[in-house]
Every structure is written in structure tokens, then in C-alpha cells.
């Protein structure tokens, strides 16, 4: 299968509020007041955690039958460690997450060994997790003055 491109547009509104659009869908992001925002939406790093959990959940749903795992319920709790001083330019520390931890919660009548193999597999097929673990080449494609 050929490489597929995904696209999104992030349009800064008033203050730190940002409208994000992709494929006709839209959501907003903001920052908490402590980081200069109005706290009207989750911030980008919270959205990143949510995207990772959503990706893992989609992989779980998609591959459960392959492992003969019945998923009655599945959800992911995530937490990440980030020093805001990096973003606020107050200290010479990393801007992004230093650690992300997640916990799977699942309700299933399937055998423990099937669930163990299934859970180990989930991390190998999540594109968001793979992007975080492997890193991604990030480059400015251009500047357009409007």
C-alpha cells in the first residue's frame, strides 16, 4: 500500500485559542490561565495524550478478534510529565513530555494469556505511539505571507 498523507490546519484565534480542522471536522485547543490562555478547551499536550489513548483504543477494537479477545469495555488512562518552564522560556529544560505513562482498563471474559498477547500487540500497531517512540522528521515546509 502506498504512503497516505494526512493533513490538518491549526488557525490561531484570539489569545491562545486555536481552531484545528481536518477532513471537515473541527475542534478547539487553548491553554489554561496559568499558561496565558482562557482555559476554554484542552491544551495541545492534553490533546496529544488523548490522541495516543484514542489510537490505542482503536487498535484494541480493530485487533481484538485476531486474538480472540472479547472487549466488553476498554479505556486508557494517560499521564505525562512536562516542565512548563521550557514552554515559558523560563529555564533551559525540554519543552515536551519527558515521560508518558498509560494504563489499559478492560473488561473481558477472554483467557488471561490471550489478553496478555493482545495487550503487548496494541503498542506495536498504534501510529501515534509509534510516532512518539520512533520520533518524526519535523520540518518547516514554507512561509506564506497573507
> pLDDT tens, 96-138?
999 999 999 999 999 999 999 999 999 999 999 999 999 999 9
Q: Which tens digits make up the pLDDT trace of 25-54?
A: 999 999 999 888 999 999 999 999 999 999
99 half-sphere exposure, CB direction, 13 A CA radius: 4
**Residue 11 pLDDT > 90:** yes
Residues 13, 8: Cα–Cα separation, whole Å = 16
Reported pTM: 0.93
Tell me what percent of the chain is helix, strand and coil, each rounded to the nearest 5.
35, 20, 40
What is the per-residue pLDDT for 88? 82
Amino acid at each position: 500500500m502506498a504512503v497516505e498523507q494526512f493533513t490538518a490546519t491549526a488557525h490561531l484565534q484570539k489569545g491562545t485559542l486555536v481552531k484545528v480542522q481536518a477532513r471537515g471536522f473541527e475542534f478547539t485547543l487553548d491553554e489554561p490561565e496559568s499558561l496565558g490562555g482562557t482555559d476554554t478547551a484542552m491544551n495541545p499536550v492534553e490533546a496529544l495524550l488523548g490522541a495516543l489513548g484514542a489510537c490505542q483504543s482503536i487498535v484494541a477494537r480493530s485487533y481484538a478478534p485476531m486474538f480472540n479477545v472479547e472487549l466488553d469495555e476498554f479505556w486508557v488512562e494517560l499521564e505525562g510529565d512536562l516542565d512548563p518552564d521550557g514552554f515559558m522560556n523560563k529555564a533551559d529544560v525540554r519543552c515536551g513530555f519527558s515521560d508518558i505513562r498509560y494504563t489499559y482498563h478492560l473488561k473481558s471474559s477472554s483467557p488471561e494469556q490471550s489478553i496478555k498477547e493482545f495487550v503487548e500487540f496494541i503498542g506495536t500497531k498504534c501510529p501515534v505511539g509509534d510516532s512518539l517512540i520512533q520520533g518524526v522528521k519535523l520540518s518547516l515546509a514554507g512561509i506564506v505571507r497573507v
